[in-house]
Structure 1
Amino acid sequence: MTSLSHAKFDPTRAREYAEQARIGLAGYDACHELSACVLSAALAGAKERRVLVVGAGGTAGEITTTARLEPSWTFVAVDPSEPMLTLAQAAVEEAGIGERVSFVRDAVSALPPEPAFDAALMIGVLHHIPEESDKARLLEDIARRLRPGGSLVLAGNYRAYDSEPLLLAAWANRWRLHGASDEDVQAKLARIMAGAVPPESEEAVAALLAAAGFSVPERFFSSLFWGAWHTQRET
């Protein structure tokens, strides 16, 4: 993430992230499980794989779930937010996989610019990056660090929020269902609308990936504004 986008994940917001993420994304755990399953299927063959996890802070769900499915894989978790990365480290230690995960508090661009990874996971990151050029640069940075043919599982919100009023109203009802008042719901939606800029369409996601050197993405999960795709670095 850029310095501007990761700064909003302060200690207070980091602490509430796990609960709020599961309300905000219906199917949060299912998305992480399917991401692990798809990545495992795409990389079937050699047992030992090295996986880059981008924006890994928070629950570390993508790491703990994938590590449970693939006990020989190792992970490099990158996140510029110290509070979020601290939470991820705690989750990894609790899962008993600390020796398989390295943590880097920085951007992907700070990693050595060489194809050192078999795959990458980036869940819930792209829509937090305001500028289109920064979205493109991050995907390019990931592509450079993947081996030719390496897999990327990308998940996040797509479509402008005000373009789908029915979905936006349903999203508001998710918080109401979990006890939020009307005032709290409006405050949450206002914060989302002001602080997140998703790609405008699934076609826009595909275009960003193509420009970074990835193949046509295959969507395997969807929930309101959220989608998850598998793609590969072109050889």
Structure 2
Amino acid sequence: MKKLLIAATALALTSGMGMAQTVRIASEGAYAPYNLINDKGELDGYEIELGNEMCKRAELTCTWVKNDFDAMIPNLVSSNFDAIMAGMSITDERKKQSSSPRTTCRPPSAYMALSADADVKGGIVAAQTGTIQSGYVAQSGATLVEFGTFDEATAAVRNGEADAIFADKEYLVPLVNEGSDGFAWVGEDVVLGDGIGMGLRQSDTELKDKFDAAIASMKADGSINTLIEKWFGPEAQKFPTN
């Protein structure tokens, strides 16, 4: 499961900037099913489809920018792009640097290892750098080893460098279900933060309101649940509809 949840679009709507300006949304392209690179070499995934629909409902022109996860917030603050949709969890620390519209999904985090008996409390646990999961492991009593990408963290478990990995459960499900590596769940799911959302500059209040309205309308008509089921499966947690 991945990182604490903030992600989405921000347009510079401060004085002098018109509504016709393109909103640049950053994503990682390396955290399926939230975001990935498809066979055409394009950004794809739950957040990409969700962001496109939100832009449509908000009547905004949006483009996508690929960016490394650990540089997302600094580049947002520096106006290198306008918003983040990258499987980013909403945390108190991130709220100090950016704002977020309504939650776009509420995935649990989970431990995965080569044995269901792996020691995740006192052993070595891998996580992706800069995620809400890495912060949790650091305070759990386990020894944290961080990696720049989820794939590198997973490889550390395969090769014995780490006893387990802690991440967004939805991201781990295909690896456990596939069965080829012998991965298993360890312990119970863990709910962290306020869910996953869209990251915006704190000054972009008008844009935040537009995306708030777009997300709210998708929750009300159930279309966000359709996307959640498409990308995460029928058992994924969904939002109540009006």
Report the TM-score, using the length of structure 1 for normalisation. 0.30
Bigger RCO of structures 1 and 2 (CA < 8 A, at least 6 apart): 2
Greater helix share, structure number:
1
Report the TM-score, using the length of structure 2 for normalisation. 0.30
Question: Which protein shows a greater Rg?
Answer: 2
